[in-house]
Structure 1
């Protein structure tokens, strides 16, 4: 490998216990379209305010980490040590938000923080178990925004950790918004702190007791965006820093946002995909053939998830029989209707021109062909269950065994997110940064109002 390149791991590769949103193994195809339309984002990146707050967290955790002897990010152990100083600040911002009286917004880890608060903040690691505390690196606020922080120039130096020009400016803006007692200064970290006493497990206690002990005593200033304000513009000073970073002139993200804003007649997510695939403006930035399959893909995957959810509902209709037979399930009129819609959407996918040239088409085509060849509702149901079992990502919902469909998880463990391409996040970020009026597009997406895939599981 050329010496100018290096590898940076900003999150561990341990699997999340319930991997959401890939019931059929279509994630690679969905990510392909998402990266074309909204590079550098994720379905969890929808509050620009958290980019500002996390910039502040990165700046001050960097100070503490370096004072404690850090400086090398080339090894995974070093990265874990770096994150140990960042994680408490993420959680203290959730606590600070709740302390202010705000209870909505993107607040990952909220349930644990609420337990911690009820215990007068005396429980270690914010009332999380060791496993929950470890996994917060994946499912917490930094985990939701790490791609943005790593890939968008000006936020970090490219490693996802070290604040760059834009992040430092955002961090200063956040710090200046805080009450005088809650703002941080470099002198706070120059008072003879024995860093060795806090490293290696005491980082959370350091921030609670020494580093930012007034985080919750003095509330006010910038907070994560509440649900009711999620479409509103951020203050001008913040927009001036975020807009050029996220939506630079001529950037793909800006063009996508402007095309979506122009789709005044779109009523659904699929309508927006039609507009994107047929946009002459976007085709100047993205090869038009790259998006040609987007409308057929989204309609087929939506139909597959609709049938999947209805099958799951039917399995759980009879509390006395949690493993109904295929024949019984196939008698459901609603399920039969959704399976029929799926077959028709699959036929459209199979007729799509140049489908064979799409590098991620194999798994999608496999389900479409199998549904085409299944002539009865019972056969179609078996096709759906078998494809989910063989190709789905993460924990399986159910499995056909000896003519019955056996649920494999509790009803509360299921997340039935449709396959999405970061359209809601880019619309919200564009609205917050003042790029355009995104209300029409957001109204079209309102039926899928939560694309925050990992949710608050702690």
Structure 2
């Protein structure tokens, strides 16, 4: 028998470099290590509770979508129609959370929902513009967890949409915990609704007006995890369902989480990378040579991003404004120190073990060699800016023109993230599922090895956290 395979497109259609920032072109390398250490996750999937809530959303949006005539998920149009029934439920959970008085946690779309609530929930599409509503598929909660839902068995049928056994159990758990008057039941969808009337643009209005009432008499049940409880264990019944799918006994995710938890001396992200590269337990799951270059990659990428932030800060705080001269920028003692750190970390990368088996060597080695060959601060600055222009993905921050650095995006005051390898979401999920105590790991992940990081860099608001 010939096995037939098909692709199910649950991700946004915009090219990855456009919707996700990649200032130095190192994302492919970061994703390589992330896939080795935490396959099936994404950097944005950091709350196991949302997997539970999205399971509920998938179950009931699936019922509505099927009633409305949906059935083919192999084409883009079918997937758009499927998501149109899911998106309102994601946003109604944000509304429900705010109604409870909780204002922290992973509440994507919160600002729009707050405007919608202030307008007595009368504005269409949750007070989002048409473009915001469309982009929510990229930046919303389902977008953050689509990789988990698509790739981890038991959650969906592998398409990211159709609930599988564990997802259905989680959905039932959510429904049972809701106050009786807001629980959904199959018979609610068998009442003669003219589904064609709501399809094609009015799906949100259906859920708000008829599908799931929003005038909550009381707000009980499960809610997204607030920030202050990020590393606390979930209730036992919920953990019993989530742990076997997220952290099965032989899964790489579990072995990585346990290796992190045992790294007692690691006090920083770089220290955790050292511990992972040298873990004898993890080496039984992941070829040791594959992880060997991880520490050098992490330190070099962090140093280079630290320099990028420093350069961006100097550009935007120069008295001449807009386009300071390269020669003037290179006189900054702070920026020169950061550039020297990049040069040193680049030299370490060129000596790193395991480079011969690292499949994304080109971009990072080009930067290391360019910084090695730069003999002055001006040369270093130009080498960094040139690499950003030639190898960066997404929006460019600046470019050199006629001896000046010209900014290309607005200064939002929001920091651009370092390159990361899913260690934070993995650790949070492991803590919530009771795999291990991860508080020390989460503290180390949050601690920046490079002090005094400037907070004035371009914001890629449509991207996942790096």
SS of the aligned residue for 2:281 comes to helix
Question: Corresponding residue for 1:117?
Answer: 117
Q: Specify the alignment match of 1:210 in structure 2.
A: 210
Change in CA separation of 1:313 and 1:19 when aligned onto 2, cut-off 3 Å: farther
1:28 counterpart residue number: 28
Q: Offset at 1:357?
A: 3.3
The structure-2 alpha-carbon separation of the partners of 1:355 and 1:231, relative to structure 1 and needing over 3 Å to count, comes to same
| 1:345 corresponds to 2:335 | no
The equivalent of 1:362 in structure 2 is 362
User: Is residue 92 of structure 2 the alignment partner of residue 92 of structure 1?
Assistant: yes
User: What CA distance in whole angstroms lies between the structure 1 residues aligned with 2:13 and 2:440?
Assistant: 38
In the TM superposition, 1:244-255 aligns within 5 A as 244-255=244-255
Residue 308 of structure 2 is aligned to residue 299 of structure 1: no
Say whether 1:55 aligns with 2:55: yes
Residues 238-387 of structure 1 correspond to what in structure 2 (within 5 A)? 238-318=238-318, 320-387=320-387
Equivalence map 1:435-454=2 (5 Å): 435-447=435-447, 454=462
Q: Distance in 1 between matches of 2:290 and 2:312?
A: 34
Is contact 2:43–2:464 with CA below 8 Å preserved after alignment?
A: no
- Specify the SS of the correspondent of 2:179: coil
Helix, strand or coil for the counterpart of 1:91?
A: helix
Q: Is the 8 A contact 2:21 2:394 kept in 1?
A: no
Q: Report if the CA contact (8 A) 1:109-1:456 is conserved.
A: no
Structure 1 residues 243 and 437: alpha-carbon distance in aligned structure 2, compared to 1, 3 A threshold: same
CA deviations 1:258-294 (Å, max 9, x no partner) are 0000011111000000000000100001110010000
Shift in Å, 1:96: 0.6
Equivalent residue for 1:150? Answer: 150
Q: Which consecutive residues of structure 1, in runs of 5 or more, have no partner in the other structure?
A: none
TM-score, scaled relative to structure 1: 0.96
- In structure 2, relative to structure 1, the CA distance for the partners of 1:21 and 1:258 (3 Å cut) is farther
Q: CA deviation at 1:243?
A: 0.4
2:420 is matched with which residue?
Answer: 420
Give structure 2 stretches of 5+ with no counterpart. 450-459
> Separation in 2 of the partners of 1:382 and 1:214?
55
CA apart distance, 1:72: 1.4
The alignment of Structure 1 onto Structure 2 pairs a total of residues equal to: 454
Misfit runs of 4+, over 3 Å: 15-21, 214-218, 452-457
Quote the residue 1:103 is aligned against: 103
Q: Could you say which residue in structure 2 is the equivalent of 1:134? A: 134
Q: Secondary structure at the match of 1:443?
A: helix
Distance 1:234 1:453 in 2: 30
Please give the secondary structure, in 2, of the residue aligned with 1:89: helix
> Residues 95 and 216 of structure 1 are in contact (CA less than 8 Å); yes or no, is this contact kept in structure 2?
no
TM-score of the pair, normalised by structure 2: 0.94
Instruction: Calculate the aligned-residue CA RMSD, in Å.
Output: 1.8
Does residue 396 of the first structure (1) align with residue 406 of the second (2)? no
Q: How does 1:219-238 map to 2 (within 5 A)?
A: 219-238=219-238
Distance 1:158 1:176 in 2: 26
Deviations 1:363-403 (A, max 9, x none): 00000000000000011000111100111110001101010
The one-character-per-residue Cα deviations of 1:194-232 (angstroms, maximum 9, x if unpaired) are 101000011000000000014644311100000000010
C-alpha displacement at 1:17, in angstroms? 9.8
Q: Indicate conservation of the 8 Å contact 1:146/1:160, yes or no.
A: yes
2:42 corresponding residue in structure 1: 42
Q: CA separation in 2, counterparts of 1:354 and 1:191?
A: 63
Q: Secondary structure at the match of 2:405?
A: strand
Cα distance in 2 between the residues matched to 1:455 and 1:424? 17
d(CA) in 2 for partners of 1:27 and 1:330? 27
Greater shift in the superposed pair: 177-186 or 317-326:
317-326
Query: For the Cα contact (< 8 Å) 1:92–1:215, is it kept in 2?
Result: no
